[in-house]
Amino acid sequence: MKKHLFIISALLLGIGISAAAQTQEKRDLLDKIEDLEIGPGKVLRHDDKDFKVIDFSLIDNFGYGLTKVDAPSFTSKFGRSWEYFLNVINLSINPTKWLSLSAGGDIKIDNFKPAKDEWITLDNDNYPLVGKIVEPEKYDLKRSKSRLVVFSLSVPVTLGLNFGGCNIRGGAEFFWPLQGKRTFVESKMLTDKGWIESHQWKAKTEKFSWDYMAAISWDGLGLYFKYYPKPLIPSSVSSTFNYWTAGIVIGF
d(CA 250, CA 61): 5
Q: What domain range is 23 assigned to?
A: 1-36
Q: Give the model's pLDDT for residue 37.
A: 47
Domain shared by 163 and 119, yes or no: yes
Q: Where does the pLDDT of residue 192 fall: very low under 50, low under 70, confident under 90, or very high at 90 and above?
A: low
d(CA 211, CA 14): 70
Domain shared by 28 and 105, yes or no: no
Phi, psi angle pair for 159, to nearest 5°: -110, 130
- The 3 state secondary structure assigned to 18-68 is HHHHHHHHHHHHHHHHHHHCCCCCCEEEECCEEEECEEEEEEEEEEEEEEE
**For residue range 135-146, what is the model confidence (pLDDT) as tens digits?**
555 566 666 778
- pTM for the structure as a whole: 0.71
For residue 27, pLDDT beyond 70: no
In a domain, 179, yes or no: yes
For residue 218, pLDDT beyond 50: yes
**For residue range 41-60, what is the model confidence (pLDDT) as tens digits?**
444 444 445 568 899 999 98
Domain shared by 202 and 95, yes or no: yes
Domain shared by 32 and 151, yes or no: no
Domain shared by 179 and 240, yes or no: yes
Domain shared by 86 and 7, yes or no: no
Domain shared by 22 and 55, yes or no: no
d(CA 178, CA 186): 16
